[in-house]
A = this chain, B = another copy of it.
Amino acid sequence: MANEARTVEVRPDSYSYVFNPYREAVARVNPGDRVTIHTNDAFESRIQSTEDLPSRALATAKFLNPQTGPVYVEGAEPGDTLAIRIESIEPTRNFAVSALIPYFGGLTSTPFTRTLQEPLPEKVWVWHLSEDGRSLTNEDLGVEVDWDPFMGTLAVAPDLEAITALAPGPFGGNMDVPDVRPGNTVYLPVWNEGALVYTGDCHARQGQGELCGVALEITSKVTVVFEVIKGQTIEWPRIESESAIMVVGSARPMEDAARIANTELVLWLEEEHGFDRWDAYQLLTQAGGLYVGNMVDTTYSLVASIDKKYLPGS
């Protein structure tokens, strides 16, 4: 799209803790540029060993989940859709961390689901990246897992609001959806001139649900290429992989996230793939996918999908 695609490197001087339409851009890029963005981890790198218990290590951190951004994408205007092709995620250190944080996670009461019970114990796990960068191991578990990285957070600035970087939503945000991964393209609505992209919270990998609330947190540099789709308006984040199309819905209770993701996917099949609305509903009933991205954030993110092999012309 751009005549001369550049390679742009974005190293932030400071981070944002909100997805914010009012913050000055840290970089301006053209569609088609290869943009490499450096990201901190969700804990501002304050947790590096099993001694760094969250209650101490995070005691002076007023906010968490630092974001790099906003990146201003030339030509993006309200009403457009921004396509973000994820080319790569490279680690910038040789370990990942996870932790049990008091009153945070899927199997504990939280500030949203309050009880009078005591918190779970704190614990930190350090996972070491193998020399070839293809797996991670943790000694306590005695388990080796594949390197399978993705961006926990990818957002555009909302319309008028400045929203905590802990939140997922129509703007993307802290979705914690493993399909935000290299090789895939994420589509987000544009509400502001330049789209104003934020990213961070990269994960070496994560299970579905991000159960304890903390994936394998890494510092990293991610490389993306933006395209602007003029005049196409979408309501919620979409993802396209080689084999499937997906919608991410984020809401509470969880069934509302499932309803959003599937309704949007039905309408997408109707509007862009030639299906009758009810036939689209039928197709997803018999062949759709529906997994939990996160069950721990301010709202839950669910991913509805359909294999491209069922789409006409494929």
Contacts and interface: CB of A to CB of B under 8 A. Distances in A.
A292 B282 contact: no
Interface string A137-164: 0101111010000000000000011111
A213 to B, nearest CB: 8
A155 B277 CA distance: 35
Contacts of A211: 262, 281, 284-285, 288, 290
A141 B253 contact: no
B98 A282 contact: yes
Interface in A95-149: 98, 100, 106-109, 112-121, 123, 125, 127, 138, 140-143, 145
A207 B100 contact: no
**Copies per assembly:** 4
A287 B145 contact: yes
A304 B106 CA distance: 13
A107 B98 contact: no
A107 B112 contact: no
A216 interface: yes
Contact of A263 (B107, B252, B275): B107
